[in-house]
Every structure is written in structure tokens, then in C-alpha cells.
């Protein structure tokens, strides 16, 4: 699928059903399940359907979505990051998740920083981010990005609460 952004080390592109093996591995990573939630995806077919119903549909309808993050040097998928519009949040949400081997290398910040600029270019006035209150690494990334803690919220009945961070985006 098509490239959306490029940074010094990364390519962010629209995910495709063919990315199901990577997506299945990512959403079943124990840290993903702990900090983001169990998507209940256990087969390649279910992962491909989730990509189509999630990022692909959102890209078509909104012009932004969760993107596959690949290293430029070898095209290896390392994570996902993007701009998500959730029914439970007023603002567009900056989201990201990376496989364990690619955490702590600056990839998440590099992708998130590029996405804030992309959000500005799309005319998005504010970005939010939701994070498990125990996820100190992610909280540190959001603060480094310039986001500020706004509130604790339960976005769906029966789900654990999350910290909501936000930032205004200045017009270009």
C-alpha cells in the first residue's frame, strides 16, 4: 500500500491485509495485551479482517489511520503508529505499538513526532493520546512529544481506565 510518511529511519504506510502475520504477532505480544488490550485475534484470517475493518477502512473514510511502521534500511515491520479517530474521544488519538525487539530504539518517538506534523498538515487542531497509567515508557514518550496529562477516563464500560494526554497543534 502507499507510503504516508518517511523519517530518517522509518517508512509509515497504510497497512494491508497482507500484513496479517506481523499484525497477529504485534497484537498478541504480552505487553500489547497488558497495556492496550486483548484484541482476541488468534488467526491470520482474523488479523487480515481486522486490518481491513480498522486501518484500511479508517484511511478510506477519514484520510488517516494506524500505519505500519517499517525500517527504511530493510523494509522490516517494527510496529504500528498513526492517527485514530475513536468514538469515545473528541480528539484524534495518536497511537503506537512496537514489537519488543524494537522498543527503546527511538522508533516510537520518531514515528509519533512525524505524525504530529502530519496531523497539522491535515488540519487536525488537537491530538489526544490514551495510555495505561502503569505504562511509564509510553507516558515518557508523550511528555517528550509535548503532550500534557489532562484526565483519567474510563472510555468503555467494563474496561480499565486510561490516562488521557493532549496537545494543541499550531497551524502551519
Q: Mind listing the pLDDT tens digit for each residue in 58-78? A: 999 999 999 999 999 999 999
Q: 66-71 and 77-84: which strand pairing?
A: antiparallel
For residue 1, name the pLDDT band (cuts at 50, 70, 90): low
For residue 172, pLDDT beyond 60:
no
Give the predicted TM-score (pTM) of the model: 0.94
For residues 155-168, b (16+ Cβ closer than 10 Å) or e, as one string? eeeeeeebbbbbbe
Q: HSE (CB half, 13 Å, CA atoms) of 85?
A: 12
Average pLDDT of the residues in 68-95: 96
Most confidently modeled range among 18-27, 86-95, 162-171: 18-27
* pLDDT value of residue 160: 86
Give the whole-angstrom CA distance, residue 154 versus residue 156: 6
For residue 16, pLDDT beyond 90:
yes
Mean pLDDT in the chain? 95
Average pLDDT of the residues in 86-94: 93
* pLDDT value of residue 159: 82
Average pLDDT of the residues in 112-121: 97
Average pLDDT of the residues in 101-125: 97
What's the CATH number of domain 3-168, 3.20.20.10, 3.30.410.40, 3.40.630.30, 3.40.50.150? 3.40.630.30
Q: Is 158 left (phi over 0), alpha (psi -120 to 50) or beta?
A: left
52 DSSP assignment: I
Sign, CA torsion 171/82/105/3: negative
Amino acid at each position: 500500500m502507499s507510503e504516508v510518511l518517511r523519517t530518517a529511519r522509518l517508512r509509515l504506510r497504510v497497512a494491508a491485509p497482507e500484513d496479517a502475520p506481523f499484525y497477529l504477532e504485534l497484537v498478541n505480544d504480552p505487553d500489547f495485551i497488558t497495556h492496550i488490550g486483548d484484541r482476541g485475534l488468534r488467526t491470520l484470517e482474523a488479523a487480515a479482517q481486522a486490518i481491513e475493518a480498522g486501518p484500511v477502512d479508517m484511511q478510506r473514510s477519514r484520510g488517516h489511520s494506524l500505519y505500519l511502521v517499517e525500517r527504511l534500511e530493510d523494509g522490516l515491520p517494527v510496529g504500528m503508529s498513526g492517527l485514530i479517530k475513536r468514538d469515545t474521544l473528541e480528539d484524534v488519538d495518536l497511537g503506537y505499538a512496537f514489537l519488543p525487539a524494537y522498543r527503546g530504539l527511538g522508533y516510537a518517538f520518531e514515528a509519533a513526532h512525524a505524525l504530529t506534523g502530519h496531523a497539522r498538515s491535515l488540519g487536525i487542531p488537537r491530538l489526544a493520546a490514551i495510555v495505561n497509567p502503569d505504562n511509564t515508557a509510553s507516558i515518557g514518550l508523550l511528555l517528550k512529544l509535548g503532550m500534557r496529562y489532562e484526565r483519567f477516563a474510563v472510555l468503555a464500560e467494563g474496561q480499565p481506565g486510561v490516562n488521557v494526554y493532549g496537545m494543541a497543534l499550531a497551524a502551519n
